[in-house]
Amino acid sequence: MIPKKDMFNLKLHSAVRNIIRSNFPCLILFAFYVNFCSVKQKELSQIESKYSIDLDGVKETSIPFSAYFKSPKTIILETNENCLIGHIFDLQVFDECIYVLDTQIANSLFVFDMSGQFLKKIGSLGQGPGEYIQLSDFTLDKENKNIYLLDFSKRIHQYRLDGSFVRTITLKLQKTNIRNIHYYNNRLLMSVLAFNPAPSDYMLLETDLNNEEILKQSLSLKYNKGWGESIFLHHSFFVSRSDVKPLYTQMFMDYIVTIGEDITPYITLKSKNLVTEKDIGNISNFPGGDTREALGRFRNYFSERSKIFDVHSFVENDEFILFRYQQGLNNYYTVIFHKNNRFVKLTNQFNNDLKFKKSENRFFDGFMFSDSKGGYEVMQTRSIENFQESIRNNDIVPDLDKLDELLKLEADSNPVIFYYEFK
């Protein structure tokens, strides 16, 4: 006779075996899932990038806009009491609408049509449902027709494209602020900045929009040389908000990476002047909470060194990639990489001969947004009077779109957008 203890073990073993047999595929998938999630991201240096761009080549005196772009279309944004814009921080274009974000003065997201006529504002200031306190960024879910607004670092408000409020997502993150957001494949990619950052911190988080759970963290802070401060930032780290796979880089990274199911280097930057971990160590130990002193030390350090950092103003088509970077404190260079022959052109004078008669680029601050057809340049309100002076001095090409209307703008008119289609 089998003892009760052994009989219990036999029954238990039989029950477990039956469960395994009946659920074998599920258990295999579960085991695969656990194993997959435990696999660490490969080092970016171990993955071959699609392109490698050397920034130490010979610099050309100037490169003309007209070699790559057609004459710009001028979009004069309507100015009225319902859409007063102080400074455009970011813009995106979708479905014949221009979405304009002002985080500094208006603290609002405005929508205009492609002629510049004001259509609506998304949400409003306040603390009730559908209201926000301080906007930082926004992203579009083009497939499902949604807008997500990043509010006060850790709240994200969802709206429909018609402006109707859907819900608010409050993220439970500690010692971390969200800097930028980007929608991708029913996930929200979040570029984060940690308080008192450590090398073990990460730059990217992903959350599932169905259950609002954090899915994973990626891109170790070491790829940004350990820099995680929130100061000195004036544009999105998502340098290309592609519908297929977005591109991302931070201030001191040697890579522009593609974000998909995995993160892979799209472009590897090569130069003897790239910022190093030693550079970051020399400037990152700021007195706690003193932003002005931090900014001063940052400026002093880079004013004395010809270091390359801060890739932005990214534009790409089938033939070339164009972006800008900063070298030292006051020098900005434009890079044009020809994909077919891998030829690199470099200049600090990207001469906008499509707007100006003279070889100058003093009004070109870079492209704020681009799509598969061209790039969007913003002339902020503060530059309107200077531009009008150039018109009166006959420094502007006579066939510039809407030249007469530009001359009639008020000093406090809304910013102007110039759209350059690729040649």
Q: What per-residue confidence (pLDDT) applies to 232?
A: 60
The Cα diameter of the chain in Å comes to 110
Tell me the percentage of the chain whose pLDDT exceeds 70.
84
Q: Which residues pair with 151 in a beta bridge?
A: 135, 155
- What is the rounded CA–CA span in Å between residue 200 and residue 258? 21
Model confidence pLDDT, tens digit, residues 334-386? 999 999 999 999 999 899 999 998 765 455 678 999 999 999 999 999 999 99
DSSP per-residue letters across 316-345:
E-SSEEEEEEEETTTEEEEEEEETTTTEEE
Residue 78 pLDDT exceeds 80: yes
- What is the rounded CA–CA span in Å between residue 44 and residue 213? 26
Tokens 């891998």 belong to residue? 342
- Mean pLDDT to the nearest integer, 400-413: 97
Q: Percent helix, strand and coil across the chain, each rounded to 5? A: 20, 40, 40
pTM: 0.86
How would residue 230 be classed by pLDDT, with cut points 50, 70 and 90? low
How would residue 237 be classed by pLDDT, with cut points 50, 70 and 90? very high
Tokens of 263: 């993160």
Assess contact for 417 and 98: CB atoms under 8 A.
Answer: yes
| 272 phi, psi to nearest 5 deg | -75, -10
Residue 17 pLDDT exceeds 70: no
83, with CB counted inside 10 A (0-12, 13-18, 19+), is buried
Model confidence pLDDT, tens digit, residues 82-104? 999 999 999 999 999 999 999 98
- What is the rounded CA–CA span in Å between residue 241 and residue 256? 13
Length of the chain equals: 423
Sorted by sequence, the CB contacts under 8 Å of residue 226 that are 6+ apart come out as 197, 199, 277, 280, 281, 284
Assess contact for 43 and 255: CB atoms under 8 A.
Answer: no
Q: What angle do CA 51, 190, 109 make, to 5 degrees?
A: 105
Q: What per-residue confidence (pLDDT) applies to 3?
A: 42
30, with CB counted inside 10 A (0-12, 13-18, 19+), is exposed
* Residue 220: CB atoms within 10 Å: 18
Q: Under DSSP, is residue 27 helix (H, G, I), strand (E, B) or coil?
A: helix
Residue 30 pLDDT exceeds 60: no
User: What Å distances lie between residue 333 and 229, 329, 360, CA to CA?
Assistant: 24, 12, 14
Residue 35 pLDDT exceeds 60: no
Output the average pLDDT for the chain: 85
Model confidence pLDDT, tens digit, residues 132-173? 999 999 999 999 999 999 998 689 999 999 999 999 998 877
Q: What per-residue confidence (pLDDT) applies to 9?
A: 41
Query: Where is pLDDT greater, at 32 or 106?
Result: 106
